[in-house]
């Protein structure tokens, strides 16, 4: 016969297991509820001013958009404008992976979206370790966009250290994927902290609410022009982007 102490231990263990299962079931149920809402959310317009003179439009997303119904994103069309690509947050710092990355990475491709992955850079962390974090999480295939380094803040690090760690990340990632990475940042940060030293890297520049193009002298390949768009299949606001060239130039940019 089990002792009273052993019986209590068994009951306690069963209670913990049951509690964990109920928590997991509640989480899964909540995720399905969110996805159900996303599948049926519809917007009559994108909700923002779209620079219609560009022919290739896209969005960028992360965990903050929660569960995305990618088939609805792909199908949405307002007048002549459809969304053809998506940049998806993959990693941050030396050990963080966006909790929605794997799902977004697979589902966006399944829906026929051209996809790209980006790393949110922390200047206070080692550039090599951050590059390894990205490489471990992201498997780039033919037809994907080049890898992206998202660098927006200094976190108090000197300009010299920041540039050194950024160079380390870019070099390692370029060597691994055999393609030159894209730098994402805003105009002021680029001018003040990066500048001419990084002018030979493709630029994805953020400059909101401009009518025709970002106000920057150097060439750019992508422009994040708004952070408050609306897309079918996404519950929250979305960043909107355009590509600078035509379909032939866009095809040339993709991984071969």
pLDDT tens for the chain, 256 residues long, are 556 666 565 565 555 545 444 444 444 444 444 555 556 588 999 999 999 999 999 999 999 999 999 999 999 999 999 999 999 999 999 999 999 999 999 999 999 999 999 999 999 999 999 999 999 999 999 999 999 999 999 999 999 999 999 999 999 999 999 999 999 999 999 999 998 899 999 999 999 988 889 999 899 999 999 999 999 999 999 999 999 999 999 999 999 9
* Separation between Cα atoms, residue 204 and residue 148, nearest integer Å: 9
Domain presence at residue 3: no
120, 149 in Cβ contact below 8 A? no
Domain presence at residue 1: no
Residue 217, pLDDT score: 87
Q: Which of 126, 152, 168, 227 is catalytic?
A: 152
User: Residues with Cβ < 8 Å from 123, sequence gap 6 or more?
Assistant: 151, 153, 154, 155, 157, 161, 162, 165, 166
Residue 5, pLDDT score: 63
Domain presence at residue 78: yes
Domain presence at residue 173: yes
pTM here is 0.85
Domain that holds residue 163: 41-253
* Separation between Cα atoms, residue 79 and residue 66, nearest integer Å: 27
Domain presence at residue 64: yes
Residue 212, pLDDT score: 86
**Is 60 in the active site?**
yes
User: Which pair of structure tokens corresponds to residue 138?
Assistant: 């992201």
Say how far residue 93 (Cα) sits from the centre of its chain. Answer: 14
Domain presence at residue 106: yes
Domain with residue 119: its CATH number is: 3.20.20.80
Q: Which of 60, 92, 150, 165 is catalytic?
A: 60
- CA distance between the termini of the chain: 69
Say how far residue 91 (Cα) sits from the centre of its chain. Answer: 9
**Is 249 in the active site?**
no
Buried (b) or exposed (e) across 104-123, using 16+ Cβ within 10 A?
A: bbebbbebebbbbbbbbbbb
Residue found under tokens 């940019």: 253
70, 112 in Cβ contact below 8 A? no
Residue 23, pLDDT score: 40
* Separation between Cα atoms, residue 150 and residue 91, nearest integer Å: 10
∠ CA(48), CA(61), CA(76), 5° rounding? 55
Domain presence at residue 112: yes
85, 254 in Cβ contact below 8 A? no
Domain presence at residue 85: yes
Residue 39, pLDDT score: 67
Q: Which of 113, 121, 187 shows the shortest CA–CA distance to 153?
A: 121
* Separation between Cα atoms, residue 115 and residue 85, nearest integer Å: 6
- Helix, strand, coil proportions of the chain in percent (round to 5)? 40, 20, 40
How many structural domains are present in the chain?
A: 1
């Amino acid at each position: 016969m089990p002792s009273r102490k052993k019986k209590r231990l068994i009951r306690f263990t069963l209670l913990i297991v049951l509690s964990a299962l109920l928590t997991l079931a509640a989480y899964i149920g909540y995720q399905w509820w969110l996805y159900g809402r996303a599948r049926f959310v519809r917007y009559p317009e994108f909700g923002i001013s779209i620079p219609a003179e560009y022919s290739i439009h896209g969005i960028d997303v992360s965990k903050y958009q929660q569960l995305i119904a990618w088939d609805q994103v792909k199908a949405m069309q307002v007048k002549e404008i459809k969304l053809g690509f998506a940049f998806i947050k993959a990693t941050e710092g030396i050990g963080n992976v966006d909790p929605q990355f794997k799902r977004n990475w697979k589902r966006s491709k399944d829906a026929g979206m051209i996809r790209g992955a980006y790393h949110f850079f922390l200047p206070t962390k080692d550039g090599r370790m951050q590059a390894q974090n990205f490489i471990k999480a992201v498997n780039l295939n033919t037809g994907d966009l080049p890898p992206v380094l998202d660098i927006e803040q200094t976190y108090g690090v000197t300009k010299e250290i920041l540039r050194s760690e950024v160079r380390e990340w870019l070099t390692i990632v370029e060597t691994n994927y055999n393609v030159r990475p894209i730098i994402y940042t805003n105009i002021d940060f680029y001018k003040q902290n990066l500048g001419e030293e990084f002018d030979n890297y493709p630029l994805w520049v953020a400059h909101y609410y401009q009518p025709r193009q970002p106000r920057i002298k150097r060439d750019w390949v992508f422009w994040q022009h708004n952070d408050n768009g609306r897309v079918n299949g996404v519950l929250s606001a979305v960043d909107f982007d355009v590509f600078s060239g035509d379909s032939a130039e866009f095809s040339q940019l993709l991984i071969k």
